[in-house]
Amino acid sequence: MRVMKITKDLIQHIAKLARIRLDDSQVQKFTQQMGDIVGFIEKLNSVDTAGIPETNQVNGMENVLREDKVENFPRMEELIACSNNPIENNQIKIKKSI
Partner 1 sequence: MELTKLNLVETKKLLSDKKASENEIVADYLKRISEVDPKIDSFLFVDEKAASQNFDGILGGIPIAHKDVFNTDGMPTTAASKILENYVPPFDATSVEKLKVAGSVILGKTNTDEFTMGASTETSAFKKTKNPWDLERVPGGSSGGSAAAVAADLCVFATATDTGGSIRQPASFCGVTGLKPTYGRISRYGVISMASSLDTIGVISKTVEDAAIALEIMAGQDSRDATSGSAPVEKYSENLRTDLKGLKIGIPKEYFIEGLDSGVEKVIREGITQLKKLGAEIVEISLPHTEFAVPTYYVVASSEISANMARFDGIRYGPTVANSEVENLVEMYFENRTRGFGDEVKRRIMLGTFALSAGYADKFYKKALQVRTLIKKDFDDAFAEIDLIATPVAPTTAFKLGEKTDDPVQMYLEDIFTAPVSLAGVPAVSIPAGFVGNLPVGLQLIANQWEESKLLNAAHAFQNSTDFHLQKPKI
Which residues of the shown chain bind partner 1 in the complex (CB under 8 A)?
A: 10-11, 14-15, 17-22, 26, 30, 33-34, 36-38, 40-45, 47, 49, 52-61, 64, 66, 73, 75, 78-79, 82-86, 92-98
DSSP, collapsed to helix, strand or coil, labels residue 87 as: strand
Shortest Å, Cβ 36 to partner 1: 5
Shortest Å, Cβ 42 to partner 1: 8
How many angstroms separate the first and last alpha carbons of the chain?
45
Name the DSSP class of 6.
P
Distance CA 29, CA 83 (A): 33
